Structure 1
Amino acid sequence: MWNFWNLCVFIIFLSIIIIRFYQVLPRRHSRHSRHSRSYNKLNNKKPPFKTCIVLGSGGHTMEMLQLLKGVDFNSLYRPRKYIVTGSDILSSEKARNFESHKGNVENVDYIIQLVPRSREVGQSWITTPFSVLKSLIACIRIILFDLPDLVICNGPGSCIPVCVISYIPRFFGIKWIKLIYVESFARVKTLSLSGKLLISFVDRFIVQWPYLTQKYPQAEYKGILV
């Protein structure tokens, strides 16, 4: 049974964690603050930037690749790492075809890495925490062992574990991995579940319909991107 001092230590430790987490949330610190400058100095690097791109089944992959169609990969964003769920063979093939058309070679300019799906369609919510944990463990290897500069996602469930793990180096002051979320074109009046979960935690949250900026002030409208 805990005594009074053990309880005090636990409360202090928990308070430190909560305060630290609050400090590293986007839009919670001034651009001119000492805290912000320290992270800018930490991540003050010139391109190219190591980039993680999260693909998802169905329209997510199509929209993401359309979004990246005009991006200057070779001078700005390389190497690239596509994160695809293990059962999504089609997205892996689309990524290879996309890069091939740009003249890039797998394992040189980009790689494709597989993670377990966080939740299968129709999967019971009772078993979902176990599959999410499995996906988180896979993302630890992908994110923490490589420390990308940037993560881009647009709504598939697999982006949740990626963004969660990306907060670990940020929390410990190792590296601020920038998180960019582009909401699906299909979301006209409300956000996807992934968007609702991540809107307060990503550095840039971009929507493709102006109405969404009225409902969600944190969002940025940049026009139709796909």
Structure 2
Amino acid sequence: MTKNSKPIALIILSGGGFTFETQCLLREIESGFRFVYLATRFGGEPGEPGIPPGVRYEVPSFSSMTQRSYLRSIDAFIKTFMTTRRVIRTEAIDVIIAIGCSHAVPMLLAGRSTRCRSVYIESITRVDKLSNTGRMIYHLRLSSRFLVQWPKLQERYPASELGSIL
């Protein structure tokens, strides 16, 4: 980051509710950053309403509850990890920010392996317990900062911070 430029944040646009939560976050932070996005084909496009302009790199979707495929998930994990590592180097990423989705694990693992700062925000839908993604990131300490959006979760996970994006 040069002295007069804004820091560059790498954000995931994975689709559905996660993209909605990301748009809420982007409204709050857009004036402080330039953005680079990893996005699935369902995640949205930079410059669309609620998504500030930025560079977009496509990554595959993970399998879903209705379309289970371990091979698809392994492929998505590897491609997301490799794309994240390449993007961190070529775009001079200052921070990775991920909300809730499965892509957060390979993104934050790549960030950790390159010593890039990172923030994981557990989805607003997680009130009583962390998601599988959240538990993995929390226990493996893959992010520099770990935020939850409900006080009950912060009580259960004392290394987390309380915050809200809605």
Taking structure 1 as the reference length, the TM-score comes to 0.63
The amino acid that maps onto 1:225 is I
Report what 1:13 is aligned to: none
The amino acid that maps onto 1:210 is P
More strand by share: 2
Question: Is 2:29 the partner of 1:81?
Answer: no
SS of 1:64's partner is: helix
The amino acid that maps onto 2:33 is Y
- Separation in structure 1 between the aligned mates of residue 113 and residue 103 of structure 2, nearest angstrom: 17
Task: Report the more deviating stretch, 135-144 or 55-64.
Answer: 135-144
- Separation in structure 1 between the aligned mates of residue 26 and residue 72 of structure 2, nearest angstrom: 35
SS of 1:185's partner is: coil
- Separation in structure 2 between the aligned mates of residue 45 and residue 151 of structure 1, nearest angstrom: 20
- What residue ranges of structure 1 are gaps of 5+ in the alignment? 1-42, 171-176
The Cα shift of 1:82 comes to 1.6
- What residue ranges of structure 2 are gaps of 5+ in the alignment? none
- Separation in structure 2 between the aligned mates of residue 191 and residue 95 of structure 1, nearest angstrom: 32
- Separation in structure 1 between the aligned mates of residue 165 and residue 79 of structure 2, nearest angstrom: 33
- Separation in structure 2 between the aligned mates of residue 157 and residue 95 of structure 1, nearest angstrom: 24
Question: Is 2:11 the partner of 1:59?
Answer: no
- Separation in structure 1 between the aligned mates of residue 75 and residue 26 of structure 2, nearest angstrom: 33
Identity, in percent, stands at 26
Conserved 8 A contact 1:144-1:165: no
Question: Is 2:133 the partner of 1:194?
Answer: yes
Task: Report the more deviating stretch, 211-220 or 47-56.
Answer: 47-56
Per the alignment, do residues 218 and 44 of structure 1 end up closer, same or farther by CA in structure 2, a change over 3 Å counting? farther
The amino acid that maps onto 2:101 is P
The Cα shift of 1:164 comes to 1.4
- Separation in structure 1 between the aligned mates of residue 104 and residue 111 of structure 2, nearest angstrom: 10
Where in structure 2 are the equivalents of 1:40-51 lying within 5 Å? 48-51=6-9
SS of 2:70's partner is: coil
Question: Is 2:100 the partner of 1:155?
Answer: yes
The amino acid that maps onto 1:218 is A
Question: Is 2:120 the partner of 1:120?
Answer: no
- In the comparison of the two structures, how many residue pairs are matched? 162
Conserved 8 A contact 1:65-1:95: no
The Cα shift of 1:185 comes to 0.8
Taking structure 2 as the reference length, the TM-score comes to 0.84
